[in-house]
């Protein structure tokens, strides 16, 4: 019977649920990406679903809806514990209990304190057989920012760098377009489409006047929350990041000492001004900023420099991951800005070293990807 444990079948169906969940990656925040498969009592697939976007029906509901009466006596495979609280949609756990499935296999418990075992407990109390932990590491890795937010209360932070072989991110005069090739830039826009917000320093705004949007190849640009570190409010009111992008704000994070007249100009231009830290600060404090972003639903923050900004995140141990693009050119100028400034590691043993490193060639460029601290998924097994 399909509701009876079958290790090989369980592994396969959970793999399909994980593949479905990945379809929603980058579009469901602040919710996690979830996939579900219903297998009927004879062991045949009866329904599939994935969470497509925040506010849309959850994966379990869609899979059960497609399966209909074939759910009865079957098994539901789901990549995350069914929720048990009301949000923008009703809770899923009661719907699962009422659908008539005999067994639920969940990859991992939901880390959200509003759920955190409550959904699984409801299902067990309703008489369903519940198993947790199958392919858990893959499920957590898929929703890494969500799990980090639940643990730390602030976003998962990725630093992204595009540099020459000698570590320069621009020429002495500030020219940086383009260090990497077209394929690497397209990859970067695809990655932007998976995050919630993008952060730069005011120097980047002054030199490059970027849009800071996600423009994946063949897809519509995804609106991102844009964040600028600007301790003195030097951002020009005419900067391209300021006009609201389909209702998504641009946040200029600053200090209490920043000029009030500049704040008024930037607010009129469409910016949201966020003053952080006690009086006398000369730099925007990063921890309060990250906590503020976490409270407003940002689960994944992409930091795109420049060097001083990267150095600040590294110095305070606030970055989780690095994406470092190496382009096959040599700028060869000591006066050109570097990828990281102010990291202050007096000895090699104190320098941040990446772990879980992988390499990928993208066009003529090399992507080096790794973590600065043990990834949250490393603590989970595969069940």
Phi, psi torsion values for 67, nearest 5 degrees: -70, -35
Output the CA torsion sign for 130, 134, 136, 139.
negative
End-to-end CA distance of the chain: 22
**What residues pair up with 124 in beta bridges, in sequence order?**
none
Q: Give the Cα separation of 368 and 349 in Å (integer).
A: 20
* H or E element that contains 62: helix 59-67
Q: Which of 60, 138, 203, 304 is catalytic?
A: 60
Active site residue 60: yes
Do residues 329 and 320 touch, judged by C-beta distance below 8 A? Answer: no
Q: Give the Cα separation of 228 and 342 in Å (integer).
A: 19
Phi, psi torsion values for 246, nearest 5 degrees: 50, 45
Do residues 340 and 292 touch, judged by C-beta distance below 8 A? Answer: no
Q: Give the Cα separation of 315 and 344 in Å (integer).
A: 7
Active site residues: 60
């Amino acid at each position: 019977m399909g509701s009876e444990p079958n290790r090989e079948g369980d592994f396969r169906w959970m793999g399909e649920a994980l593949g479905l969940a990945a379809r929603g990656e980058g579009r469901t925040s602040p919710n996690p990406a979830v996939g579900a498969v219903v297998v009927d009592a004879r062991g045949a697939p009866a329904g599939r679903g994935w969470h497509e976007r925040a506010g849309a029906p959850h994966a379990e509901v869609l899979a059960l809806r497609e399966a209909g009466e074939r759910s009865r006596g079957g098994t539901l495979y789901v990549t995350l514990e069914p929720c048990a609280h009301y949000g923008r949609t009703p809770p899923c756990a009661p719907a699962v209990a009422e659908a008539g499935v005999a067994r639920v296999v969940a990859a991992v418990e939901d880390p959200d304190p509003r759920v955190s075992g409550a959904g699984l407990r409801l299902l067990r109390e309703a008489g369903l057989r519940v198993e947790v932990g199958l392919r858990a590491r893959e499920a957590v890795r898929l929703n890494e920012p969500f799990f980090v937010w639940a643990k730390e209360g602030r976003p998962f932070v990725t630093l992204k760098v595009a540099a020459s072989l000698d570590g320069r991110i621009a020429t002495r005069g500030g020219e940086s377009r383009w260090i990497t090739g077209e394929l690497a830039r397209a990859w970067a826009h695809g990655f932007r489409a998976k995050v919630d917000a993008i952060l730069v320093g005011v120097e980047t705004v002054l030199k490059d006047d970027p849009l800071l949007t996600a423009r994946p190849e063949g897809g519509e640009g995804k609106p991102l929350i844009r964040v600028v570190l600007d301790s003195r409010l030097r951002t020009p009111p005419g900067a391209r990041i300021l006009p609201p992008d389909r209702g998504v704000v641009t946040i200029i994070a600053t200090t209490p000492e920043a000029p009030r007249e500049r704040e008024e100009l930037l607010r009129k231009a469409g910016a949201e001004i966020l003053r952080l830290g006690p009086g006398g600060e000369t730099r925007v404090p990063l921890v309060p900023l990250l906590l503020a972003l976490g409270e407003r639903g940002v689960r994944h923050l992409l930091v795109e420099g420049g060097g001083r900004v990267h150095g600040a995140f590294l110095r305070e141990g606030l970055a989780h991951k690095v994406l470092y693009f190496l382009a096959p050119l040599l700028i060869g100028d000591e006066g050109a800005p570097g990828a990281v400034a102010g990291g202050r590691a007096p000895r090699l043993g104190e320098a941040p070293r990446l772990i879980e490193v992988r390499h990928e060639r993208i066009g003529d460029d090399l992507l080096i990807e790794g973590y600065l601290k043990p990834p949250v998924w490393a603590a989970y097994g595969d069940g």
